[in-house]
Amino acid sequence: MEKTIFSKIIDGEIPGKFAYEDEQVVVLHDINPKAPIHLLIIPRKPIPTLMDVTAEDLPLIAHIHVVAQKLANQFQVKGFRLINNCGKAGGQEVFHIHYHFLAGFEE
């Protein structure tokens, strides 16, 4: 399987603007933001789609939700959207699961 753009960013082959990272995930600023705050939460483990998540991956998926909470605190937002596009028919463009963290809308 060919490396995705996200794997290349994670591996330092392509630059990315990081907002957060730990041993399981990286968080990047989206290069084409759809919200005042638009971040991508990307697991370091390359899983193509949400349909490819296994029981073994469930702690990683839970960790992504904890990271979303950390981002809300870091960016001092009271609410946010967490979106995953699954498969080509679901609007997924990069086949390395990732979640869009969208925030900063007026209350």
Active site positions, annotated: 98
**Which among 37, 50, 24, 8 has a CA at the least distance from the CA of 16?**
8
C-alpha span between 36 and 74 (Å, rounded) = 14
What count of other Cβ atoms lies within 10 Å of the Cβ of residue 55?
Answer: 6
Question: Which tokens sit at 50?
Answer: 């949400």
What count of other Cβ atoms lies within 10 Å of the Cβ of residue 50?
Answer: 16
